[in-house]
Structure 1
Amino acid sequence: MSGVVVVGGGISGLAVALRLHDAGLDVTVLEAGTRFGGKLAPVHVGDLVLDGGAESVLARRPEAVGLLEELGLGERRTAPTGATPRVFVEGAPRRLPPSLQGIPTDPAALRPLLTPEAAAYAETETERAAPPLEHDVTIGSYVDERFGPQVTDRLLEPLLGGVYAGRSRALSFEAVAPALFAAARTGGSLAEHARASLRPGAGPVFAGLDGGVHGLADALVARLEQAGVALRARTTATGLRRGGGALVVQTSDGEVAADAVVLAVPAPAAARLLAGLAGGGPTAPVLGELEQVAYASVAVVTMLVRGLAPTDSGLLVPPGELPTVKALTYSSAKWGWVGDRVRDAYGDDVAALRASVGRAGDVGVLQVDDATLVRRTYAETATLPGWERAQLLDATVTRWGGGLPQYGLGHRPLVERLRLAVGEVPGVAVAGAYLDGVGVAACLASAAAAAEKVLTDLGTR
Structure 2
Amino acid sequence: MTPSSRTRGAAAPPPRVVVVGAGIAGLAAAAAVRRTAPEADVLVLEAGPAIGGKLALAEVGGVTVDVGAESMLNRRPEAVALARDAGLGDRIVHPATTTANLWSRGRLRPMPRTLMGVPADARALADSGVLSASGLARVAVERGLPATHLDGQDVSVGWLVEERFGREVVDRLVEPLLGGVYAGHAREISARAAVPQVVALLDRDRSMMRAAADALKQTSDVPVFAGLAGGIGRLPGAVVASAGLEVRTDATVRDLARAAEGGWNLVVGSTRDAEVLHADAVVLATPARATGRLLADVVPHAALELARIEYASMAIVTLAFRARDFPDTPGSGFLVPPVDKRSVKAATFSFAKWDWVRAAGEADDVVVMRCSLGRHREEELLQRPDDGLVSLALADLADAVGLSVRPVDAHVQRWGGALPQYAVGHLERVRNIRSAVASAGGLAVCGAAYDGLGIPACVASAEVAATQVVAALGLAGE
TM-aligned CA deviation for residue 386 of structure 1: 3.2
Is 2:5 aligned against 1:3? no
Which residue matches 1:54? Answer: 69
Match of 1:191 among 209, 230, 236: 209
Q: Which residue of 2 aligns with 1:302?
A: 318
Judging changes above 3 Å, is the alpha-carbon distance between structure 1 residues 58 and 70 closer, same or farther for their aligned structure 2 residues?
same
Q: Deviations over 1:138-173 (max 9, x none)?
A: 101221121111111111101110001001111011
For residues 399 and 354 of structure 1, what CA distance do their matches in structure 2 show? 13
1:430 is aligned to 445
Matches of 1:127 and 1:298, distance apart in 2: 40
Does 2:342 align with 1:323? yes
| TM-score, length of structure 1 as denominator length | 0.94
**Aligned position for 1:169:** 187
Match of 1:269, SS state, is helix
CA contact (8 A) 2:57 2:65 kept: yes
Partner of 1:215: 234
2:247 corresponds to which of 231, 236, 243 = 231
Equivalent residue for 2:224, pick from 177, 192, 205: 205
Q: Return the alpha-carbon distance in structure 1 between the equivalents of residues 374 and 247 of structure 2.
A: 31
Q: Which residue of 2 aligns with 1:106?
A: 121
Q: Which runs of 4+ in 1 moved over 4 A?
A: none
1:86 Cα offset (Å): 0.4
Q: Quickly say closer, same or farther: Cα 1:48–1:146, change in 2 above 3 A.
A: same
TM-superposed deviation, 1:404: 0.3
Worse overlay, 174-183 or 66-75: 174-183
2:140 matched residue in structure 1:
123
Contact map agreement 1:133 1:186 (CA 8 A) in 2: no
Structure 1: gaps (5+ residues): none
Shift of 1:187: 7.0
Q: Matched residues in 1 for 2:438 and 2:303: separation? A: 14
Give the Cα separation in 1 of the matches to 2:471 and 2:329: 52
Task: Give, as a single letter, the amino acid of the residue that structure 2 aligns with 1:424.
Answer: S
Letter in 2 for 1:269: A
Q: Are 2:166 and 1:148 equivalent residues in the alignment? A: yes
Contact 1:84 1:312 in 2 (8 A): yes
- Structure 1: which amino acid aligns with 2:352? A
Q: How has the CA–CA distance of structure 1 residues 386 and 362 changed in structure 2, closer, same or farther, with 3 Å as cutoff?
A: same
Conserved in 1, the CA contact under 8 Å of 2:87 and 2:242? Answer: no
- 1:299-378 matches, cutoff 5 A: 299-306=315-322, 307-308=325-326, 309-346=328-365, 350-378=366-394
Task: Kindly indicate whether the alpha-carbon contact (under 8 Å) linking 1:17 and 1:27 is maintained by their aligned counterparts in 2.
Answer: yes
Alpha-carbon shift at residue 400 of structure 1 (Å): 0.5
Per the alignment, in what secondary structure is the counterpart of residue 143 of structure 2? coil
> 8 Å contact 2:205–2:211 — kept in the other structure?
no
Instruction: Give the aligned residue type for 2:340.
Output: E
Q: What are the superposed Cα offsets for residues 172-197 of structure 1, whole Å, 9 maximum, x if unpaired?
A: 11111123324426872222333333
Which among 240, 265, 275 is matched to residue 254 of structure 1? 275
Q: Distance in 1 between matches of 2:282 and 2:425?
A: 27
CA drift of 1:263 comes to: 0.3
- 2:154 counterpart (121, 126, 136): 136
d(CA) in 2 for partners of 1:394, 1:361: 29
Structure 1 Cα separation of the partners of residues 341 and 361 of structure 2: 27
State the distance in 2 between where 1:182 and 1:237 align: 41
What is the CA-CA distance between 1:246 and the residue it aligns to?
2.5
Structure 1 residues 124 and 172, CA gap change in structure 2 (3 angstroms): same
Residue in structure 2 matched with residue 90 of structure 1 by the alignment = 105
SS of alignment partner, residue 112 of structure 2 = coil
Say what the alpha-carbon RMSD is for the aligned residues.
Answer: 1.6
Q: Percent identity?
A: 43
Provide the C-alpha distance between the structure 2 equivalents of 1:324 and 1:416, rounded to a whole number of angstroms: 36
- CA distance in structure 2 between the partners assigned to 1:124 and 1:202 by the alignment: 32
* Whole-angstrom CA distance in 2 between matches of 1:67 and 1:231: 18
Q: Note the alpha carbon deviations across 1:65-123, whole angstroms, 9 max, x for none.
A: 11111112111111101351100111100010011122222233221211111102112
Query: What is the alpha-carbon distance in structure 1 between the residues aligned to residue 263 and residue 165 of structure 2?
Result: 55
2:398 aligned to which of 379, 382, 386: 382
- Aligned partner letter, 1:239: D
| Alignment partner of 2:410 out of 395, 407, 417 | 395
Q: 1:353 and 1:250, CA in 2 relative to 1: closer, same or farther beyond 3 A?
A: same
Query: 1:157 aligned to 172, 175, 194, which one?
Result: 175
- Output the CA distance in 1 between the equivalents of 2:45 and 2:185: 33
Aligned residues between the structures: 449
2:422 — aligned with what?
407
> In the aligned structure 2, how far is the partner of 1:39 from the partner of 1:321?
28
Q: What secondary structure does 2:449 align onto?
A: helix
**Any idea what the Cα deviations from partners look like across 1:344-391, whole Å, max 9, x if unmatched?**
222xxx43111000000101000022122212221222222332x433
> Structure 2 unaligned runs (5+)?
1-13
Distance 2:174 2:122 in 1: 13
Residues 280-316 of structure 1, C-alpha deviation per residue, up to 9 Å, x if partnerless?
Answer: x3x53x4212112000000000001232132310011
